[in-house]
Structure 1
């Protein structure tokens, strides 16, 4: 995806901050074990897909914002880094590429989504549609596209894409990520709310 060498620094800072919050405490009751294990099994294949098949437009669906909603930021950060590492076992890649992917398509959009989600809840209010449509769909699209623009500004390139069309390609892929996250978050709210660490019946349903 890109050939940069400095992403390890913000990635290390994010990991240190996440571990300082002792994210393993969120696994005590076992409710998040299923989404965590499912993320580690499913998403490495999506991350590795652009390296496994030559496609006119590389399909990049990281699931980072969905992982954020399921696990919360402190637990999502190390899980995202582990997903990046596991994707290197599925489809071998240089360590520099795996670190860059962990930051640009994983931790960065998840962190942006955390901030935007908090602002949305603060200024719009805690309602179920704020969570599913706002955080699950709109925030995911904005966060993914924003992180892609930052990566593009930092020198990221998409293979087989004309430089003038890179921004358009990022915009289209951001909406693909948004549809996936919005749809699954709505399903989980309805049928498996215990799989969403960021969901609360008392807060969003005013119980």
Structure 2
């Protein structure tokens, strides 16, 4: 279970809810949600969200608020873009809270850390590679699927370390020895491998599932 609400002060939870409310408003005005009106796209989005929800149930932790699990947010970002990927992460956290595997009080800060942050990092890596490197299949898979996913999970681990230390929840030396190396290095490698394999399979057999992938740009005439 996620006990983030037990170790962080109320001020951080308020900040998390304000940040989540702002991002929710931005998502509504972005118009990105309109793509879910297409039945095929909605079914794919819901199916992928359920798959991520199942993935998040395979988890462990060393202390309250310090959990280890694969995220799947980078794959969602490459499939649906930043806004719908982060929204899917919020839905997963909400479902966990409903099923007793999370605290609704911590939903805001958990959403910023575990859904919005990895989606933002993955989307930033995608845009950076798209702008500065050639459009090539292996660059897309290795850069976004492997490197982007690893960087996203490492960012979550480092941000959680900083947050817990600044909030006084745990001593920094404890975090740096018992949590950060596993969350920012080992888990990042596992996320990179699983996401990279999933993106490779989708790019080969189901390229329409990846909104960031285009056969004409990444494969044809290469």
Please give the range of the TM-score, normalised by the shorter of the 2 chains. Answer: 0.7 to 0.9
How large is the RMSD of aligned CA atoms in angstroms? 2.6
Asked if residue 193 in structure 1 is aligned to residue 207 in structure 2, the reply is yes
User: What is the match of residue 181 of structure 1?
Assistant: 195
User: What is the match of residue 135 of structure 2?
Assistant: 126
Deviates further, 69-78 or 183-192: 69-78
Name the count of aligned residue pairs: 203
Contact 1:141 1:177 in 2 (8 A): yes
User: What is the match of residue 152 of structure 2?
Assistant: 143
CA deviations on 1:106-130 (whole Å, 9 max, x unpaired) are: 1111111111211112111221111
Contact 1:45 1:90 in 2 (8 A): no
Identify if the C-alpha distance between structure 1 residues 137 and 54 changes in structure 2 by more than 3 Å, giving closer, same or farther.
Answer: closer
Asked if residue 205 in structure 1 is aligned to residue 214 in structure 2, the reply is no
Q: Where do 5+ consecutive residues of structure 1 fail to align?
A: none
CA deviations on 1:111-157 (whole Å, 9 max, x unpaired) are: 11111211112111221111111101101101220232122112177
Which protein has the larger Cα radius of gyration, Structure 1 or Structure 2? 2
Identify if the C-alpha distance between structure 1 residues 34 and 132 changes in structure 2 by more than 3 Å, giving closer, same or farther.
Answer: farther
Contact 1:105 1:148 in 2 (8 A): no
Identify if the C-alpha distance between structure 1 residues 54 and 141 changes in structure 2 by more than 3 Å, giving closer, same or farther.
Answer: closer
Contact 1:71 1:197 in 2 (8 A): yes
TM-score of the superposed pair, with normalisation by structure 1:
0.85
Deviates further, 61-70 or 24-33: 24-33
Asked if residue 44 in structure 1 is aligned to residue 58 in structure 2, the reply is no
Deviates further, 186-195 or 87-96: 87-96
TM-score of the superposed pair, with normalisation by structure 2:
0.80
Q: Where do 5+ consecutive residues of structure 2 fail to align?
A: none
Contact 2:27 2:33 in 1 (8 A): no
User: What is the match of residue 86 of structure 1?
Assistant: 95
Contact 1:65 1:110 in 2 (8 A): yes
1:72: Cα distance to partner?
1.2
CA distance in 2, matches of 1:98, 1:46: 18
* Structure of greater relative contact order (alpha carbons < 8 Å, 6+ residues apart): 1
